[in-house]
Structure 1
Amino acid sequence: MELPAGYKFMPTDEELVLHLFNKVFGKPLPAEGIQEIVASKLFEKPPKSLVTWSSGEKEKYFFIRDDENIPCESEIIRIVGNGIGFWKSSGEEKPISVKGFVFAFIKHLIYFSGSFSEAKKTHWKMDLYRLPTQFYTKFQATNWELGRMRRGIDYTSCY
């Protein structure tokens, strides 16, 4: 299935959670809107090296498959490569809810280049969406997150 000419994938938080829900439960997904990646691959390179960005494009979306058996909600810092940088949570994970029913969580991350002692905050940001743990069953071994990676204005010179 191809996207129509001129189509731009700009989903809301609720639409992203719906796509994540569909991914987890094997339902149809949007055509070529979100690529799939293993968590260890996503976090082995700086964001600038992960994907090819089209002119003017500032967001990329990923279904992230957890391959490290680390509960998604407990991570505050994700080291990139051999310490060339790290993604750091910029606050508490927040629930996404409708009429009091929590159907997902969102966590905001910021990319820092360099080691902890000499870290430089960059323009790279990522939102990670996950479903509540009760949505996963013992029959479903794969934990999925959905990531929205964004680059800021100064994306030509920074990692």
Structure 2
Amino acid sequence: MSTTVKESALGSTQNTGKDFWSEQYVMAERWQSDLKFDKDELRFLKKLIDKYFLWLIDEKHLESTQQVASRLSHFERNTLATETKVTKHMHHLVAFIENPSLPDASACENEHNTVKKALADLQMELRAVKKEVFQIAEQAIDSSKAQRLLSST
């Protein structure tokens, strides 16, 4: 496979050959797999909230539970939007793999970087919301244990 090297308007060298686009495509496939895993984690976190919801229903936990449920919904919407961006980007990459000399290669590279940033932001959001879910679940478990200890004495 031959690779072409192209000078961008900014003077940096960009590799725009078939190998380059294939590598970008493989990365995008990895992103799709990561998003699928994130969706599985989201499903688990929602079940966790549902499982402990009865414990969290008291006023002390209700507001934080509603906030984290809202954040989970927001994360879900962002995940679906990012998934759509990745799929669209993969279609663009296929076009460049099939014809590396297509015009507007820099737009596809920009799109790649934009999607990459969106995924990084999504991972940060997921970590933050997971931390909140686990803290609330832990509080609920501790609260439940305390109530059982108090009622057994």
Shared fold (TM-score, shorter chain, > 0.5): no
Q: Which has the greater radius of gyration? A: 2
Q: Which has the higher helix share?
A: 2
Give the TM-score taking structure 1 as reference length. 0.20
Give the TM-score taking structure 2 as reference length. 0.20
Q: Which has the higher strand share?
A: 1
